[in-house]
A and B are shown apart, each in its own frame.
Chain A
C-alpha cells in the first residue's frame, strides 16, 4: 500500500510576486518558495487537470528537496508537460530542462518489489547557491479518487513568500473538503464559492524544528478534498457517507478477490477441527497464514487498491497487505468467523487517523477486524511473528475504516495502557573486590514493550551478543555466558534470561570501592535545553519499568551507608528508587519508572527536562564501600 502514500505525498502543493520581504524570510531558510501556484480543474468524473508553477530560491543543499520536481505516472496519470528552468540570482537563465530530459525511473524501491508505476524526475546539479528554480507542470488524471491536498508548509526550514491553491470544479459533482489547523501557526486566506475554492498564505517565515514535536498533521495548516463520486482507474466510486463508500469498496474492489477455492476451505476447516472457541480457531488460522504466506510488496491493479485474489495468494504463497488481509478474511470465513477488511494509516512516529467526518479515499495500509464478544480484534496480516490482536504501535490507538457488505464503519483501534506496557527486570548481582561483576538477570517485557524485544527470538548468538553489548553499553567488556529468550504469545510477553560478567565494573581507589547499583536499566535520554520552546511536545506512548536487583557485596568490604530513597512525581511520569541493606553483605535495589503519554504545553518543557534530568542523575547514583580494616 506504499503506493497510495506515495501518491498523496507527490500531489502536494504554487505563483510569482516580486515585492516581497525576502530578507526577513531568509533567516534560517534552506529555501524560500517565492511563489507556488497550483490550479486544479475538475471537469468530469474522469478528468482532472492540475497545473502548477513553482518558483523557489534554494540557499543550500538542504533546500534542494523543496524543488520537488518529480511526478509519478501510469495508465491513468499522464504528464502533459513538465519543465524546469534554473536562474541565477541576477536573473540570468542558467539551464532549461525539458520533459524529455527528465529522468525516467521505475517506482520500485527498497520496500516495493514490483510496481507498474513510473516516475519522471528532474536531475540537476546545482552550480552554486543561491539559485532559483522554476518548475512548471501540467498533469492529466483520469483518476479523480485523489484530489490533491493543500499542504503548503513542506518543511520546517522553508519560508514561503506566497502560496496559492485553487480548485475549479465544473464536473457537477459535489466536492467536499475539510480544513485542519488553519489558524494555529500560520495565517491562511481563503475564498470559498460555489464550484471554486482558493487558499493562500503569504510571507511565512521559517517555522523551525524542535524535539518531540507533534506530527505536522496536528500543527500545520492543510485542507483535504474529496469528490462525492469519483473514478479510480476506470472504476466508479462514491464518497457521500461511509456506508455507501464502504459498500462501493466492498463490491468493486473486494468481492471479486474473495474466491478461496473449496480445497483451501476444506484444508483450513480440517486444521481447526475440534476447536470450538472462535478465538482459538482464529489463532490457528492466523498462525497458518504466518507460517505459510509471506509479505512482498507488489503494487499492481487499480492503483494499488485492489487486493490480489485469495485463490492467488493461496496458490503463490505471498501477497502484500491487501492480499494477505483479504486472504486471512477468506480463511476465517471458511471456519465461520466473520471478519472485515479494514483501512488504516500505518505509521509508528505518529498516530494518524482516517478522518471520521470526512468521507474520502484515505489510508496507506490494511488490517483485519474481527469482532468477538463485543470487542474488536485488529489483526496485522503482514506480520509473520505477531500474536493475534497485538496492538502494534504501527496501527494502535487511531480511527480506521472497517469495510463490509453493509458498508463502511469508523472504528478505533486499541492500545496498551501505561501500566500494561511493562518491562520488569530482576537480577542477582555479584561484585568482586577486583572490580569484577557477575549478573544473572531476567527481563520481562509485555504489552507495548513486547514489540521492541520481539525480534530477539529470532536472533542468532552473535546477534544477541551484539544486542546486549549495546543494551548494556554502560558496562564495559561485557561477556555473555548464557542467553535464553522465551516468548509467550498468549500473554503477550517475552522473557529474556541472561548471565553476563565483566572484569571491570566497580571502581577501586585504595580502600574505597565504588559502584552503581543500577546494573540493568539506565536512562540515557535527556532532551536538549530550550528556554524558548515554541511548540507543544508529545509523548506518544507511556510505559512502566521496574527493576529489582539483589546485590552481593564483595568479600572484605563493608557498607559505609546507603543513599536516600528518591521519589519524584510529575505530570510527565513518576520515578522511585530505593536502596535497602538486607544484611551486611547484601543490598536490595528497587527502581520504578513510569512515563505518562500526553501532549504538553510548550511552557511545560523546562519542567519536563528537569524531571528527565533528575531521573538520569538518580539512575547513576553510586554506593561507596570500605575495605574491612
Chain B
C-alpha cells in the first residue's frame, strides 16, 4: 500500500500546481521544486506563457496592434540564471515606432519557508539603440537564484499592422503551457502558419467589439474646431492557440537551421477592408508575394537600367560566343568586378548603377546587376528569390519568407543558377547559405516558377594514392586528389586564399603529420581542382612482435562515426549529395607477405540513399583497394537515422580494419 499512496500524492501535487495561469500567484511547492518533472536536464522552464493580440483604435493614429504577453519562469540550475535576463527588440522607422511597457515584473523566492516577492524596479530596465531602426529593451531581474521564479508582463504597441510578432510555442527550455489569443477585427485578413512538428489546439469564434473615444479637432467648416465622441462596432475573429508540455528544442550535428523545427506561429497581412473603402490586398499567395516584390523600384525597377555598363561590355555584344560561354563570361565579369558588403536582402541597397560604379553592393545590387546584363544581352535571365539557411523555411507566403536573391537562366528546360556575391561560386554551385528549401524565379510578366535549390548532382572527391612500405615501417607515396563541384567550392573557400606553405602545413596536419613534398594544386576547369603531392610518414605502420599492421587508407579513413547520438528528431543535412572515392595501390616491403587483410564489403541503405563499397585485391607484393562512399540525397529525413547510424558504424569499422604483413619464411 505504501507505494500506492506515494503515487497518489505525487499525482495530486502535480496536478494541483499547474492549474492557474495568472501572474502574481506563486506557491511554496513551485518554489521548492528541484527539477522539471519531465526533463531532469532542464536548466529552467517556462511554467506558462500567455499572449493576447488585439487591435486598438484611436481617431488620430488609426488601428494599431497591441500584444500583451505574460510569462512565468522557474530556474532550476545555475546555468539557467540567464533566463532572468530578458531582451525585446522594437522597430522604429523614423516617423513611428513600436513601444513597450513592462508590468508585474517580480522575482519570487522561498525564504525561511515563506514566499518572498521582489519587484523589478526601473534600475533593472535598460534601453539601448541598436541601429537606426532598432531599439532594444532589457530587463535584469533582481534576487534571482537557483529555485527562483520570475514573472513579467509586457505590452507592445505597434503601428505596423502588416507585421505581426511571431509566437514561439517552443524554446530552448521546456514550456509547460503556452496559450496565445489573437482577436482580429473583420477589416483585417491575415494568413497564419505554424512551423515545427507540434500542432497546437485551436479554438475559433466570432464576437462583436465596440470602439469608442473622443474625436478631436473636428472642423465645422467655418473655422471652429470642436470635440465630439465617436463609437462604432464591428465583428472580430477570436482565435485561441494552445499547447502544453512542450519539449526543449535541442541543437544537433548535421542540421540546417534548428529554428526551422521550433514550433512557431506567424502571421502575414493579406488584406485590409475598411468600411467605405476598396479592399486593399497585400501578399496572398506566392505569386502575389513575388509580384509585389517585383513591382518595387529596388527590385524589378533595377533590371531595366542598362545604359551605364554597355560600354564596358562591348565584347559580349559583338563576340561570337556560344550562349553558355556568354553566360559564364558575364558571370565571371560580375563576380570579379563586384564586392559583396555582406548585407543580405532582395532589394537593391545602392541601386545597381551606383553599386556598379563603386564595385560594392549588397546581394541584390550584385545579382540584379547580373540579371540586368544577361537580359540586356537577350538571354532569358531572371531573379530567383531565396531564403538563406539562416533565414529558415517559411511555408507561408510572405515577403519575409525571402531574404536573398540570385540569378536564374532558363535554357532548354534547364536552369542555371548563379550567385555572383561569392568569388568562389560557380554556375549551379551556389554558396552553402543559399542551399535552403526552394527559390522563386520571377519573370518580368509577373509569372513565377518554383526552383529547387537543394543540389541534386553528386559532387565527387576522387583520390588516387600509391605508396610503398619500407621494412622499417616507413610509408612513402604519391597522392592525387580531385575535387569536383561542391568539393572544389569548399576547397577554394577553405584554402583558396592561402599561400602554398600554409596549404602544405594544413595538408601535413590533416595527413597525420606526414612530410609533404612537391605539393601542387591546379584548377583544371571551372569545377575541378587537382591537388598532387608526395608524402612520407614513419608513424603509420605499427610493428608488433615482428608483424606490420596498417590501415590501408592511412589517414583518409573516418576515425569515428559522426552519428553518435542514439536518437534523432531532425533531418540530417549533408548539404549536397556526394561520392568519395579512394583508389589505392600498396607495395609491400621485400621479404614480407600479406598475412591477413580486411574483407571486401558492400553496404547499401534503403531507397538507394547511400552506398558503400570496399574492394580489396591482393596480388603478389601489391594490394589494390577501392573504397567508394556515396550519399545520394542532400537531406535525409530523420526516420532514416537508425539506418544511417548503422551504415556509418559499419563503414567506419571497415575503414579502420588493418592489413597485417608478416615476414616470409
A binding-site residues for B, Cβ under 8 Å: 60-61, 95, 106, 108, 113-114, 123, 125-128, 291-294, 296, 298, 312, 315-318, 384-385, 458, 460-463, 466, 469, 473, 476-477, 504, 507, 509-510, 512, 514, 526, 528, 560-561, 617, 622, 624
Contact = CB atoms under 8 A, between A and B. Distances in A.
A294 B81 contact: yes
A622 B596 contact: no
Contacts of B542: 622
Contact of A125 (B78, B341, B509): B341
A315 B128 contact: no
B143 A317 contact: yes
Contacts of B404: none
- Most chain A CB atoms below 10 A, which of B77, B545, B549, B652: B545
A504 B560 CA distance: 12
Task: Please classify the interface of chain B as helix (H, G, I), strand (E, B), loop, or mixed, using the class held by over half of its residues.
Answer: mixed
Given A127-B339, A128-B339, A315-B143, 13 more contacts: A60-B497, A125-B340, A385-B78, A461-B40, A461-B41, A476-B652, A504-B653, A507-B549, A509-B595, A509-B596, A528-B509, A617-B539, A624-B544
Contact of B596 (A61, A108, A126, A510): A510
Contacts of A296: 85, 140
B604 interface: no
Given A113-B85, A125-B341, A291 B146 contact: yes
A528 B41 contact: no
A294 B549 contact: no
B36 to A, nearest CB: 11
A318 B339 contact: no
Interface residues of B, number: 54
A473 B107 CA distance: 43
A316 B145 contact: no
Contact of B545 (A106, A526, A560): A560
Given A128-B339, A316-B124, A507-B658, A113 B130 contact: no
B126 A114 contact: yes
Contact of A126 (B144, B339, B653): B339
Contacts of B360: 125, 127
Interface string B580-597: 000000000000000110
- Most chain A CB atoms below 10 A, which of B129, B145, B339, B342: B145
Contacts of A528: 505, 508-509
Contacts of A128: 339, 359
18 contacts: A61-B497, A113-B140, A125-B341, A128-B339, A293-B145, A296-B85, A298-B140, A312-B123, A315-B142, A458-B77, A462-B41, A476-B559, A476-B653, A504-B653, A507-B549, A507-B658, A509-B596, A514-B544
B381 interface: no
Interface in B93-111: 107
Nearest to A293: B145
A108 B137 CA distance: 13
B130 A106 contact: yes
B656 interface: yes
A509 B545 contact: no
Contact of A477 (B138, B649, B657): B649
B123 A316 contact: yes
Nearest to B143: A317
Contacts of A512: 547, 660
A469 B560 CA distance: 10
B564 to A, nearest CB: 6
A318 B120 CA distance: 12
Contacts of A293: 145
B41 A318 contact: no
B358 interface: yes
A127 B359 contact: yes
A470 to B, nearest CB: 9
B545 A316 contact: no
Given A128-B339, A318-B144, A528-B505, A622 B544 contact: yes
Contacts of B77: 458
A528 B653 CA distance: 29
A548 B118 CA distance: 53
Interface string B108-120: 0000000000100
B69 to A, nearest CB: 21
B358 A514 contact: no
A511 to B, nearest CB: 10
Contacts of A458: 77-79
The 3 closest A-B pairs by CB, nearest first: A460-B41, A317-B143, A127-B359
Interface in B229-257: none
B353 to A, nearest CB: 16
Interface string B299-343: 000000000000000000000000000000000000000011110
B292 interface: no
A330 B85 CA distance: 26
A509 B144 contact: no
B570 to A, nearest CB: 15
Nearest to B659: A509
Interface in B212-231: none
Contact of B128 (A108, A477, A514): A108
B513 interface: yes
Contacts of A461: 40-41
Contact of B145 (A126, A127, A292, A460): A292
A366 B549 CA distance: 56
Contacts of B40: 460-461
A376 B497 CA distance: 52
A509 B660 contact: yes
Nearest to A123: B341
